[in-house]
Chains A and B, each alone.
Chain A
Amino acid sequence: MGGLAVKHGILGILAGRPCHGYELKTEFDNLTAGLWELNVGQIYSTLERMVKDGLVESYADEGPGEDRKMYRVTQDGLKDLETWLSRPPLKARPLRDELYVRLGLLVEKDLAATLDLLDSQRRVYHLQMAELTRQKIGVVRAHGPDRVRREMMLDSALFHVEADLKWIENCEARLRALGGKEE
């Protein structure tokens, strides 16, 4: 999945300025307010492929330093980026959550265990929302030039966790009504 997005994210960053490979990791995290959780390995393997495809070229940096290799976007790369940005809207994301499998295996067998699972999951989501909110408060208070972008990304994460929470509450209510179980 996401491979195309990583590739075009890198192209977009390089369209702004040439970068070292390791800089691209920071820039990519910035772009998505850290939501993507990309690792450096993926950056380099993607770069390698893009050089082969002629979308990006590497050259030696003048200055000192360990990693002297710089990357810049080619004309083909720019064209590719433009096409990608103007593609039709995306389909809804696939709903593929490990929780569904666990829940599916438990729900008809063990009501108490299912409620426990939902309960602990609820706590995790609350914790996650609090963490995202802290990041958001930090962004707002910092008043940086990237405030809008970062807030939009964090809001996306917040809305998704909120939806997960609402669903959990809904499940809990449904199961309690079913089982007539107290507490």
Chain B
Amino acid sequence: MSPTRIERRFADLQKEGRAGLITFICGGDPNPQAFQAILAGLLAAGADLIEIGMPFSDPMADGPTIQAGNLRALAAGMTLARLLTQVTAFREKDKTTPVVLMGYYNPIHRYGATRFLDDAFAAGVDGLIIVDLPPEEDEELCLPALEKGLNFIRLATPTTDSARLPAVLGNTSGFIYYVSITGITGAASPVADAVGDAVAHLRRHTELPVAVGFGIRTPEQAAGIARIADAAVVGSALVEEIASRVETSKADSAELIGAVHARVRGLAAAVRAARKDSAEPGA
């Protein structure tokens, strides 16, 4: 199979000698129209890969910030089908930026796994992260997704010891996502040293690029991760930006969209500069 957009993007980043920025936003947050505009401007703001949450009523691995983002989107009429339509529209203009859908299995199960994979692939989705599908359930969606040519990205966590790691890496493709804390999204920030050790451990077992996420909020934290990993994932901080605008400015869309993009620009600048000021670029 020819390389996916995700694989090509990480190859390009490696050539540039820098880490990437992966942004996470809940699909349809705060409403489908504003979300489409946020999505359209992410690349220009400096995102290298785009992760979109598939809204779900019961996001068990997410903290209050992303839970609220899911509920805002659902209340505004967001559905999985509508999200795929929005990715299709995005893909007509942007042929290269990888799009990864992240979420929980039930909406896909209800949509029909096979039909979902067909429609997601046709829409221009590149990869999937399904929080509640561990390797033990690979037959459900992971194996059919790989067959379809989509990447299936798995989370490794601080509880993933050497005994468990081969199972986690087994059918993972595109990149491996290291969850830097034992906990839910939006909780405590990771300890840089511990993350460094964990990334080094992962690298001994896989050639896949390593992205690190959960708890990364500021440009400084993102830069810290960019020195040790292939990409930094920022989610709750962006979703919080949306939440605070929705609450204070009665959702003036242009302002909200601009604020999210400004936040992404700050993170992207830090990630791009990170290895320039460190002693050993690309170490």
A, B from the same assembly = no
